[in-house]
Structure 1
Amino acid sequence: MLGITVASLTKTTTTDDLFLIPEGFEGDIQVNYNVAGAPRLAKEGKYDVIPIREDGTYDTSNPDMEYGTVTDQYFYVGQDGMRTPIPENCIHVKGNGASEIGSNITRHQYLKVTRTTCSENFRVWEEETDGAR
């Protein structure tokens, strides 16, 4: 007799991430999950706080990202700690991936932020306003 088991990896229906990006940053962002020795994500209300480093990366020991409807918020953070919201048309959500070393699986979340080519095309397709890729 064959038995089938269906298990849900996560019950999250919204992503609820709060990205804190260094003021003036423009380029690719990579968040790495399940990184041994890295800090767990702090919480602000229902949001997981992801403080991006100057090089556009952040590592956390949280085993995985949340999945579902994207409800993320994005802010530039100045040296004084002041937050400035980043318009949605300046953020391109590139997707997710994973890498494996031995039995350790590290999950990756990829974004791109721009200050100079904000547009609906950038948000959806990551196209520059002059059509370059």
Structure 2
Amino acid sequence: MKSRYLLSMALLASFVFVLLSACTSSPKNHNVYLIPKGYTGWVFIIYHQKNASEIIEQDGTYQYKIGSNGVLKTATEDVRYGITTDDYFYIDEENNRTALDTDELIHSHKVTKAEAQGGLQYPAVESFFVGTEAELSKSTKVVYPQDVKPIND
């Protein structure tokens, strides 16, 4: 009976150790989103795009420069998962940054996973809305841009 108890405790301790190790080994990412000054609307980062640039880490930071249409296409194959710190800035023509209040102006940040439809594989898309809650409520909810092409087509 005592050996069964010790075996159970050893298994439980091993399980807890593995679980805690997995939690602490998650990569930490610092993401900076650079949005054209004055832009309001949905932002889309479309991954796994041919003829686009990779998202590169510089000094521990991944910078996402969003186009004037609210879209960034990148050759990076998938979203970086793990613990993140996200900062959002409006950026002007001279690359001056103005920090955005994330509680007031950034909404519905999510990732739509890559998915298969009819044998075609679609890329992951990261999206969020820039603007006030009132502007968001008037906006059509877009989950996945319609012009995104399959990655195996």
TM-score, length-scaled by structure 1: 0.71
Shift of 1:51: 0.4
Is 1:92 equivalent to 2:104 in the alignment? no
Counterpart position of 1:23: 37
| Percent identity for Structure 1 against Structure 2 | 23
Question: Could you list the per-position Cα deviations for residues 66-85 of structure 1 after superposition, in whole angstroms to 9, with x for gaps in the alignment?
Answer: 12334111110011110111
Would the alpha carbon gap of residues 15 and 105 (structure 1) be closer, same or farther in structure 2, given more than 3 Å must change? farther
> Does the 8 A contact of 1:31 with 1:58 survive in 2?
yes
Check the 8 A contact 2:32/2:86 in 1, yes or no: yes
Aligned positions of 1:17-56 closer than 5 A: 17-56=31-70
State the 4+ residue runs in structure 1 displaced beyond 4 angstroms: 99-104
Q: Aligned residues, how many?
A: 112
* SS of the residue 2:110 aligns to: strand
Gaps of 5+ in 1: 1-7, 123-127
Kept after mapping to 1: 8 A contact 2:26/2:83: no
Instruction: Indicate conservation of the 8 Å contact 1:12/1:66, yes or no.
Output: no
Larger Rg: 2
Corresponding residue of 1:63: 77
Q: Structure 2 vs 1, CA of residues 132 and 55 (structure 1 numbering), >3 Å: closer, same or farther?
A: closer
Higher relative contact order structure (alpha carbons within 8 Å, sequence separation ≥ 6): 1
Contact 2:32 2:88 in 1 (8 A): yes
Q: Does 1:108 align with 2:140?
A: no
Which residue number corresponds to residue 3 of structure 1?
none
Let me know the Cα RMSD of the aligned residues: 2.5
Q: TM-score with structure 2 length normalisation?
A: 0.63
- For residue 12 of structure 2, what is the aligned residue in structure 1? none
Higher helix proportion: 2
Given the alignment, which residue of 93, 111, 114 partners 1:79? 93
Cα distance in structure 2, aligned partners of 1:32 and 1:44: 20
Query: Secondary structure, in 3 states, of the residue corresponding to 1:110?
Result: strand
Distance in 2 (CA, whole Å) between partners of 1:94 and 1:43 is 21
In the alignment, the residues of structure 2 paired with residue 56 and residue 75 of structure 1 have an alpha-carbon distance, to the nearest angstrom, of 13
